[in-house]
Amino acid sequence: MARCSLRSSTRRAIGALGLVLMLATPAAALDVRVTSVGAPASAVQAAIELRDVVPDRFSKILDEGGTLHLRVQAELWERRPVWDRLVYPAIVRVFRFTRAPANHSLSIADASGAVTSYPIAATAMPVVVELGDTRRITPAERYYVHIIATLGTLAEREVDDVGDAVFGKASETNSLGSLGRLVFRTALQINDYLQSVSAEARSRTMSGVDILKRPVP
């Protein structure tokens, strides 16, 4: 009887420990999905949905007035029997996240300076990436899109110092210098992040003809 009681107690303890671990595990993490690939005009576009964009462990950085950067890299690949072929150079888009002091909404700025605000409760962020000219697509071949999303912190002062050295200070640069600064900041690499979380996804494989006739919502 004592042995049975010990086994029963052990099972209960293991079950309780499992419950504690489940509750301690973060409920959300950065996730990315390719929702559509098509060519509404002369360029192939990929519609992406990022979910749980700011995981719990990064929320405190925004709450304390810090800044996060989201780097989205998109690639269109041609499916081949031996080696898949990258159709276009990888497209990189970088977004800057801050917390609006007035209402604590999430402010997201893209490389052009356009700012979009999302409420605190928002969990999804749609992004459309232009991949390249439709003339590179062969109707009979098969293709897929590969996405890598990285959210993290940067040593922004160091980035600005390097940008100033190369292109001049923002207050002093001409349009060419401003363009160089924009390209420089947009091309940030994943290894520039001090701390980060990443997610990747791949679309289904589709024919070139499907891409060329499909609109992107």
CB neighbours of residue 122 within 10 Å: 12
Q: What one-character-per-residue DSSP string does the chain give?
A: -HHHHHHHHHHHHHHHHHHHHHHHS-S---EEEEEEEE-SSSEEEEEEEEES-S-HHHHHHHHTT--EEEEEEEEEEEE-SSS-EE-SPPEEEEEEEEE-TTT-PEEEE-TT--EEEE-TT--EEEEEEEEEEGGG--TTSEEEEEEEEEEEEE-HHHHHHHHHHHH--TTT--HHHHHHHHHHHHT--GGGEEEEEEEEEEPPPEEHHHHHH----
pLDDT at 192 (0 to 100): 58
Token pair 């749609």 is at which residue? 126
| Whole-number Å distance between alpha carbons of 158 and 197 | 21
CA 105 → CA 26, 33, 98, distances in Å? 22, 23, 9
pLDDT of 112 reads: 77
In this predicted structure, what is the pLDDT of residue 76?
96
> pLDDT tens digits, the chain, 217 residues: what are they?
444 443 444 344 334 323 332 333 333 578 999 999 999 888 999 999 998 888 887 888 888 888 888 889 999 999 999 899 999 999 988 888 888 776 678 888 887 778 888 776 567 889 999 999 999 999 999 999 999 998 888 765 444 444 443 334 444 444 444 544 444 454 455 555 667 788 999 999 999 999 998 777 6
pLDDT of residue 6: 37
Domain boundaries, the chain: 27-213
Q: How far apart are CA 43 and CA 45, in angstroms?
A: 6
Integer Rg of the chain from CA: 22
